């Protein structure tokens, strides 16, 4: 039986776009065997036509405008690898769907902010919008949720979804260097986004969590409903204190449906050092999925980079070539519910680090405030100091975040805090 032809238009020739070109050329025969289609590149688009990207573009058409590329008659699948929540990327994807093209994208920010509208547009046009590369790089977590675990009621999604943050936190423990030094190291290695706060501020990872939550719980993407805190305030002392207690600090995303609504948070947490998440090193990502039938599965792999991300893009292209056509978020977009944001309600122990004004009775005031809020202390340490503040570490017994917030609010009026406390949840994984 002769092969069919699937014609691609690729917008964006950065690291991932070039990786896709290389795989398409290197594995052309294998891809044809696996899909029954010949995958060809009709045209590409990027900002600078003259730039040397290390791959030949002589056999590809060129469009300066990605929207024009999306509308070309010789393009069956529009592959958007430009990035950016709005602007040219969103306009080009909308143009492609309007023109009857299927779309593959790696654009997590665009999906986190506009996923519902794009899903409705794609499904109304009878097109597919695939985005495996948008979450956790080479880890096939989207396919796992939409296909492999379709028979499960998902109870919780959690994971480490930003390799840069995990690299910084693990290197702090390994090298004894502080956050600022390792932030500079990541900048030199090219690990940071153009806007570094997207990484270290938890925003990049929260984009991914919003997408996974929608699939897992049948809700409309709700990025604004996520509690977000980055790793900027985590110090080397926090890393050491956590290690002393048998924990490691991770920027952890957690999503679960509760009686009060959809709980979504992306923030630094303590996890047991011996747990799968605790042993995760460097820039690797890990996503843990929990379902009523499967119980728990752990997906681990490279969360970024040319090869892993391009591999995920090719997986989506191959599914389209095989005529696998699914709703964007695993069920029709018209049936996705609006979520009700909820804060964490399940009790958990918390780690508190604070600097107290060095005067008699300061620590007693803090202990009294915690007790009055119903928060009991599991352990407490006061460390030596050379200035006029006294560093104190407190680990609570299990308590609700509501009770802890009441205590923190009361602490601010005691006059003994030299700075705002660092508060980290100790997560059961």
Distance separating alpha carbons of residues 211 and 57, to the nearest angstrom: 33
What tokens were used for 386? 């050379």
Q: In this predicted structure, what is the pLDDT of residue 383?
A: 76
CB 41 within 8 A of CB 13: no
Q: In this predicted structure, what is the pLDDT of residue 385?
A: 67
Q: In this predicted structure, what is the pLDDT of residue 330?
A: 95
Active site residue 33: no
Q: In this predicted structure, what is the pLDDT of residue 1?
A: 47
Burial 55-75 (b: 16+ CB within 10 A, else e): eeeeebeebeebbebbbbeeb
Domain extents in the chain? 4-134, 141-302+337-342, 350-426
Check if CATH label 3.40.50.720 holds for domain 4-134: yes
Distance separating alpha carbons of residues 169 and 114, to the nearest angstrom: 31
Q: In this predicted structure, what is the pLDDT of residue 278?
A: 95
Q: In this predicted structure, what is the pLDDT of residue 82?
A: 95
DSSP readout, 102-145?
A: EEEE--HHHHHHHHHHHHHHHHHTT--EE-GGGSSTT--HHHII
Q: Any idea which fold 141-302+337-342 has?
A: Dihydrodipicolinate Reductase; domain 2 (3.30.360)
CA dihedral 63, 67, 68, 70 (to 10 degrees): 100
Strands 350-357 and 422-426: antiparallel
Could you list the pLDDT tens digit for every one of the 429 residues in the chain? Answer: 456 899 999 999 999 999 999 999 999 999 999 999 999 999 999 999 989 999 999 889 999 999 999 999 999 999 999 999 999 999 999 999 999 999 999 999 999 999 999 999 999 999 999 999 999 989 999 999 999 999 999 999 999 999 999 999 999 999 999 898 998 888 887 777 778 889 999 999 999 999 999 999 999 999 999 999 999 999 999 999 999 999 999 999 999 998 889 999 999 999 999 999 999 998 899 999 999 999 999 999 998 888 999 999 999 999 999 999 999 999 999 999 999 988 877 899 999 999 998 888 888 999 999 999 999 999 998 876 667 788 899 999 999 999 999 999 999 999 999 989 999 999 988
Q: In this predicted structure, what is the pLDDT of residue 189?
A: 77
CATH number for the segment(s) 350-426: 3.30.70.260
Catalytically annotated residue among 208, 250, 359, 398: 208
């Amino acid at each position: 039986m002769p092969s069919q032809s699937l014609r691609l238009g690729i917008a964006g020739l950065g690291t991932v776009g070039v990786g896709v070109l290389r795989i398409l050329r290197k594995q052309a025969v294998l891809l044809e065997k696996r899909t029954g289609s010949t995958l060809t590149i009709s045209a590409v688009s990027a900002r600078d036509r003259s730039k040397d990207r290390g791959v030949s573009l002589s056999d590809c058409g060129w469009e300066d405008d990605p929207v024009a590329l999306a509308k070309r008659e010789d393009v069956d699948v529009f592959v958007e690898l430009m990035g950016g929540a709005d602007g040219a990327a969103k306009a080009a994807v909308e143009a492609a769907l309007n023109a009857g093209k299927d779309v593959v994208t790696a654009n997590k920010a665009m999906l986190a902010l506009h996923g519902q509208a794009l899903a409705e547009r794609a499904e109304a046009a009878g097109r597919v919008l695939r985005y495996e590369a948008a979450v956790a790089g080479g880890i096939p977590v989207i396919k796992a949720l939409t296909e492999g675990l379709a028979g499960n009621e998902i109870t919780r999604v959690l994971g480490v979804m930003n390799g840069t943050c995990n690299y910084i936190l693990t290197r702090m423990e390994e090298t004894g260097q502080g956050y600022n030094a390792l932030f500079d190291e990541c900048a030199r290695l090219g690990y940071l986004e153009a806007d570094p706060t997207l990484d270290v501020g938890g925003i990049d990872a929260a984009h991914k969590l919003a997408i996974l939550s929608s699939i897992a719980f049948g809700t409309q993407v709700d990025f604004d409903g996520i509690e977000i805190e980055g790793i900027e305030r985590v110090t080397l002392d926090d890393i050491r204190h956590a290690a002393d207690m048998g924990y490691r600090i991770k920027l952890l995303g957690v999503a679960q449906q509760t009686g009060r609504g959809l709980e979504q948070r992306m923030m630094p947490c303590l996890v047991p050092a011996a747990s799968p998440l605790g042993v995760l090193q460097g820039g690797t990502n890990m996503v843990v999925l929990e379902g009523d039938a499967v119980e728990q599965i752990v997906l681990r792999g490279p969360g970024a980079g040319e090869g892993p991300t391009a591999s995920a893009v090719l997986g989506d292209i191959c599914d389209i070539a095989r005529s696998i056509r699914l709703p964007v978020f695993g069920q029709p977009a018209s049936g996705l519910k609006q979520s009700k944001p909820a804060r964490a309600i399940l009790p958990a122990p918390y780690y508190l680090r604070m600097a107290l004004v060095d005067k008699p009775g300061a620590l007693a005031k803090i202990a009294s405030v915690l007790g009055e809020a119903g928060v009991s202390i599991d352990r407490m340490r006061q460390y030596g100091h050379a200035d006029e503040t006294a560093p104190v570490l407190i680990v609570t017994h299990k308590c609700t975040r509501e009770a802890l917030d009441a205590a923190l609010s009361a602490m601010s009026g005691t006059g003994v805090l030299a700075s705002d406390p660092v508060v980290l949840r100790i997560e059961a994984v």
